[in-house]
Structure 1
Amino acid sequence: MTPKEWLARQRREVAGPLRLAALCGTIEGGLIIAQAGFIAWLVQQVVMNERPLVDFVIPALLLIGVVSLRPVFASLRSAAGISAAARVRATVRRRLLHHVEALGPAGLADMSGGQLSSQLTDQVDALDGYFARYVPQMTISVIVPAAIAVTAYTLDWIAASFLLLSAPLIPLFMALVGMGAERLNRDQFLALGRLSGQFLDRVRGLTTLRLFGRTEDAAEGIVSGSDEYRQRSMRVLRVAFLSSAVLEFFASVAIAVVAIYIGFGLLGYIEYGPSTQLTLFSGLFILLLAPEFFQPLRTLAQHYHDRATALGAAELLNELESRPATEGNFGTGTLLEGENLGGNFGTGTLQISKLRVDRVGRGTVVHVDSFSADAGERVLIEGPSGTGKTSLLLTIAGLLPPAEGRIDSRFPDRRIGWLGSPPFLANASIRANIRFGNPEASEQMIVDAAHQAGVMEFTERLELGLNTTVGERGLSLSGGQSQRVALARALISPAPMILLDEPTNALDATTEAYVLKAINTLASEGRAVVISSHDAALRTVADRRYRISDQRLEMIVDE
């Protein structure tokens, strides 16, 4: 789908408000014609016919009414356009958020958090001007000048011809000047995304940068990225101002030609065609209409930059939306969701057969001929770092599409618990981070899980206890403490299957003991626990073991 087709798709969803905005703008254009006619008629009657001002009370009131209605319809047009743009932004952002959720961490592995946040905020917001102003103005800039040209043609076809001959030059040169604006805007958004990601990475790694004395280098990198963004922004502005300058030049020339023709015609220097029939009314009427003939085109030129900006954003948003999600079928591989069997933990099984897992840039990482995990069973997947253990867990979790094969999960609940390494903790309280595992968990469940995971051991020394805010990614906690909080989150999870990725990595003996105990607790509750690790300590709790060697998963029978 091209960026224009993507924008057209969004435009169809708000066709009603956009038509209303165009209608209000067209009515405003009709009022402009009526206003010019009233003014020209009043001047004609006062100057040429020398009628007393008392005779013009009603026409003057009508003129005041016309002038008063113009801002009313202008406001209605603006309100309808803003409403359409707001609906588009909300719809696109909601759709993208659902798609990002479906993509999961595996589908977004090549994007930084800063780039993604830039797309969901800045690039979605960049659609505002296109729908609020540019799209309605396209209709207005055709209908209103056409109506003015017809009105001028009934008065003097030569003056109307000057306007009609100059009109095509304006969009022609606008298109020529703005031809590269879309690419410039796309590059500007890419630069902003890189800068956002770079800034976010530097903030996250500030502690490490300070420890190694590289804060000045990091600051210079951000300054360099900011300067690149500034330069790209200036290129976009140069194109925008150039297109406006071209329009103003041709509009000024056309208006001057019309004014010269009318002036010489009224003075009697031109005796060709309808020029001999020019009156103060017709000449003034045409002169008042001439600038208004170009005003819709001027406004369109002002919003032409909104179009280029929206096209640049649409290309990037369409790329994000076109990424294949990890739901349903994927090529020749199939991820099957089993039926909801009902009941408590203790029933269900996971069966994998003839599975192949691929990663972008790495090709095939692991083949699985056969793998199973039953309720209440602890299954360990061993192998050196980089052999595909995490990729296999991501595939089981439905976050990475299988290239081939079949995953058949038949548990009483479709939810899956996950404990990664390092664990993710949000900028919230310890209590809230534990509750993420089960939003419906009671206070007693949270406290019990905190005790089982050893969280209470260190929170009792904190002034606010479980209400202590830990900061982004558990910044205020040690690695072991973060792992305990994440472990408590897994313990209160209602999922019948729990996936643990390197749960004992770089932990002290005490925290490791809590992890091993928690694994036994989860299994005793009837959950299937699948663990990936090369830590020998986990072999003591495993009911069944597999090893990945030479890109193939094999079960360890005896060792």
Structure 2
Amino acid sequence: MQKTASVQWLDAIACHSRRWVLWGVVLGGLGGVLIILQAGLLAHVIHEAFMEGISRAALLPFFGFLVLVIALRALIAWGRELLGQRASTQVRRVVRQQLLEHIGRLGPVYASEQRAASLSSALLERVEALHGYFSHYLPQKMLAIVIPATIGLAVFPVSWVVGTIFLVTAPLIPFFMVMIGRGAATLNQKNFQALSRMSAHFLDTLQGLATLKIFFRSRDEAQRIAKSSEEYRQGTMAVLRVAFLSSAVLEFLTAVAIAMTAVYLGMHFLHYLDFGLYGRELTLKMGLFLLLLAPEFYQPLRELGTHYHARAEAVGAAEGIQAILRAPAQAAPRDGEPFGPVGNIAIDFRSVHHCFGTERVALENLCLSIEAGQWVAVVGASGAGKTTMLNLLLGFLSLQQGQILVNGQDLGSLNMEHWRRHVAWVPQSPTLFYGSIADNIALGSEAMTRSRVIEAARRGRVLDFSDALRGGLDAPVGEQGNLLSGGQARRVALARAFAKDAPLVVLDEPTAGLDGENERLIMEGLKGLAAGRTMMMLTHRLDTARLADRIVVMDRGRIVEAGSHAELMALEGTYAALVRSGRAEVLP
């Protein structure tokens, strides 16, 4: 069932390469005609030279035509290869675009649940594995019918026996090709899974190398990687064994069929047989013509067998690609009406309900109103539903039940790309891309001047450390920001929010895991960032929460308390109990 679905998907996306494939088949058909012409010319030249005693000068024009035919065949082969490359490139471009767009629709929540190396493997290795299918196998599947049929039309008028030998033996080659290569797709799928696991494991090991060294586990991980590599090697060799076995069987069948033709012609020349030529006598020209066409008749079928492993590889790769494309979108749809007019943003959660699967309820009848220009801190234990609420507001998850209004507009009806232009997001673990500090700050805006970058860096307290770096704001941040400390990376993310100058700022644990100095600098930056903006902040730290105009306490997907620090302390409820229990700094 899965294999059939993969083949159907490959056939469906083949529409993007149909033009190039058809032109390749047309060229291949012309090549088939030239094969017949070449065999006829060779047979004629040899017959005339040795049987009729024609001089070399008289045969010179035929040699010229023969050279021309060979040159045209070479040109056609080059054209077919070029068209195959174009077909493959077009399909791979479309598939990569579909994957990227669908991963975008799946959203960051889906991406965070997957191993980065597995997604990278799907976008790179699995898509590249489609190359042979569209560049060689698909055109050859058609040519395996067109060229033998063309040669058969030329052979049958000369000898019905040779034509019958071709006709009877030809189906045996694809039959055994399919029988032997039947399990190749499954082997390729297992091989891709092994490659994906090995890639993910290797990336995890590189990222955690320091931890492994400290706990003396680096040798163990090296052995695990070696084991994964060996499994991948064995899988690759299993696939190659099937491919070589298939090629060997096809070569044997082809050799037997050609030998049968040669034996028939030899017996005819020795006058042991006298049928199959429609009552005519077998001449050297006729015999050479038939014998030269015999290997050419089977050549397209042999090439199809050679490229059959490309089909198996593509079917195996399609499994992983389809697994991503079939995944249901979790993020809110991108299409919708634009958000506006833009000013200070008011947010209203109305009876929002969200669950993961059929059991775990993340939000239950959530009702919360945030006034325009208000700074709201959302606190609560881990698993209380804070992150789910944030993901719904950012459009990273689709709303299941209830309504979220932003300035009176239904968030579900908005164009998510347009909505996110008005939102600045500072995550707990900010993503810094390879480049300079200035490049990462400017990421928050499409049109960013150097002066705006410097001002944002000043307000985000980035200049406090960048001035000491060689290159200043042009200093590199390294891979995933590894040249900066956690606090410095958090300040770059804060400066990015200043640079974007969005009316709504959403922060996720902005001071978590920071030392006292970095926490103080971030909190000072937050005060400046909140001025004139609506700000929603998730935090476990009560010192940070006290900066907000309003504190919202969540528990098990519900809002249990809301108010200022003083008001919540006066309620003598959950918030006050947390503070008085001695956990005034960090919530559980």
TM-based fold match above 0.5: yes
3-state secondary structure, aligned to 2:156: helix
Residues in 2 aligned to 1:360 and 1:462: alpha-carbon distance in whole angstroms: 48
Task: Please show how residues 11-160 of structure 1 align to structure 2 within 5 Å.
Answer: 11-160=14-163
Residue 179 of structure 2: which of 162, 176, 199 is its match?
A: 176
Deviation at 1:158, TM superposition (A): 0.8
Residue 553 of structure 1: which of 548, 559, 563 is its match?
A: 559
| Residue type at the aligned position of 2:97 | R
Residues in 2 aligned to 1:554 and 1:88: alpha-carbon distance in whole angstroms: 53
Deviation at 1:165, TM superposition (A): 0.8
Deviation at 1:57, TM superposition (A): 2.4
3-state secondary structure, aligned to 2:166: helix
Over 3 Å counting, the alpha-carbon distance change for 1:228 and 1:362 in structure 2 is farther
| Residue type at the aligned position of 1:105 | P
Whether 1:502 aligns to 2:505 is no
Residues in 2 aligned to 1:391 and 1:369: alpha-carbon distance in whole angstroms: 11
| Residue type at the aligned position of 2:517 | T
3-state secondary structure, aligned to 2:444: coil
Whether 1:281 aligns to 2:285 is yes
User: Would the aligned equivalents of 2:354 and 2:361 in 1 still touch at CA under 8 Å?
Assistant: yes
How many correspondences in the alignment? 551
| Residue type at the aligned position of 1:213 | F
Match of 1:432 in 2: 439
3-state secondary structure, aligned to 1:155: coil
Match of 2:571 in 1: none
Q: Bigger CA drift: 313-322 or 405-414? A: 405-414
| Residue type at the aligned position of 2:449 | S
Residues in 2 aligned to 1:242 and 1:336: alpha-carbon distance in whole angstroms: 52
Residues in 2 aligned to 1:425 and 1:446: alpha-carbon distance in whole angstroms: 16
Whether 1:350 aligns to 2:347 is yes
Deviation at 1:157, TM superposition (A): 0.6
Residues in 2 aligned to 1:358 and 1:545: alpha-carbon distance in whole angstroms: 24
3-state secondary structure, aligned to 2:433: coil
3-state secondary structure, aligned to 1:364: strand
User: Would the aligned equivalents of 2:426 and 2:493 in 1 still touch at CA under 8 Å?
Assistant: yes
Task: Please show how residues 439-478 of structure 1 align to structure 2 within 5 Å.
Answer: 439-478=446-485
Match of 2:6 in 1: 3
Match of 1:387 in 2: 384
Deviation at 1:538, TM superposition (A): 2.4
Residues in 2 aligned to 1:273 and 1:444: alpha-carbon distance in whole angstroms: 90
Deviation at 1:164, TM superposition (A): 1.0
User: Would the aligned equivalents of 2:459 and 2:528 in 1 still touch at CA under 8 Å?
Assistant: no
Match of 2:371 in 1: 374
Deviation at 1:79, TM superposition (A): 0.7
User: Would the aligned equivalents of 2:354 and 2:400 in 1 still touch at CA under 8 Å?
Assistant: yes
Residue 300 of structure 1: which of 282, 296, 304 is its match?
A: 304
User: Would the aligned equivalents of 2:461 and 2:525 in 1 still touch at CA under 8 Å?
Assistant: no
Deviation at 1:328, TM superposition (A): 4.4
Task: Please show how residues 399-438 of structure 1 align to structure 2 within 5 Å.
Answer: 399-410=396-407, 414-415=420-421, 416-438=423-445
Percent identity (aligned): 37
User: Would the aligned equivalents of 1:188 and 1:233 in 2 still touch at CA under 8 Å?
Assistant: yes
| Residue type at the aligned position of 2:286 | S
Taking structure 1 as the reference length, what is the TM-score of the superposition? 0.94
Residues in 1 aligned to 2:39 and 2:489: alpha-carbon distance in whole angstroms: 73
Over 3 Å counting, the alpha-carbon distance change for 1:399 and 1:445 in structure 2 is same
Match of 1:194 in 2: 197
3-state secondary structure, aligned to 2:274: coil
Deviation at 1:150, TM superposition (A): 2.0
| Residue type at the aligned position of 1:529 | M
Q: Which consecutive unaligned segments of at least 5 residues does structure 2 have?
A: 410-417, 569-588
Whether 1:259 aligns to 2:265 is no
Deviations 1:184-236 (A, max 9, x none): 11111111111111111111112222222222122112111111111111111
Deviation at 1:293, TM superposition (A): 0.6
Residues in 2 aligned to 1:80 and 1:89: alpha-carbon distance in whole angstroms: 14
3-state secondary structure, aligned to 2:100: helix
Deviations 1:221-280 (A, max 9, x none): 211111111111111111111111111111111111110010011110113443863221
Match of 1:332 in 2: none
Over 3 Å counting, the alpha-carbon distance change for 1:164 and 1:506 in structure 2 is same
Q: Bigger CA drift: 424-433 or 286-295? A: 424-433
